[in-house]
Amino acid sequence: MNLRIVHDAATTAAKNATIQHLTKHGEDFYCGFAWVQVSEKGSTKLGRALKSIGFTKAYGGGLQLWNPSGTMSQSMTLKEVGAQAYADVLQTIGVRAYVGSRAD
């Protein structure tokens, strides 16, 4: 498994999902953050690979990747949509990934 290729596909999926949601629903004004979280430790082979593509240590354990769609919006909904699309791609290769978010 080439995680860089998976990351590129997941990032593209996140960006596309964000654009589609924005086109269909517009931008809401609920500000916040969203990220992809995995329970993998950074010291494992997969953990080291995830860290090499941008994941960082998560508060409370595991690893996280903030705003994987790279959206410049403050909309928490748009960031959640992108994070979910990214997590969905990771799940197709067997990585247990989920979305976290919080309001600003």
So what's the pLDDT on residue 29?
85
Nearest to 19 by CA among 72, 66, 55: 72
Q: What share of the chain is helix, strand, coil (3-state, %, to 5)?
A: 45, 20, 35
Closest CA to 79 of 90, 71, 91: 71
DSSP-based three-state secondary structure for 71:
coil
Decide if 14 contacts 85 (C-beta within 8 A).
Answer: yes
Could you read off the pLDDT of 35-73 as tens digits, one per residue? 999 999 999 999 999 999 999 999 989 999 999 999 999
Number of domains in the chain: 1
pLDDT at 82 over 90: yes
Q: Each residue of 1-43: pLDDT tens digit? A: 699 999 999 999 999 999 999 999 989 889 999 999 999 999 9
Q: Cα–Cα distance between 69 and 89 in angstroms, integer?
A: 13
Full domain range(s) for residue 25: 3-103
Confidence of residue 97 (pLDDT cuts 50, 70, 90): very high
Say what the pTM is: 0.95
pLDDT at 77: 96
Predicted local confidence at residue 68, as pLDDT:
97
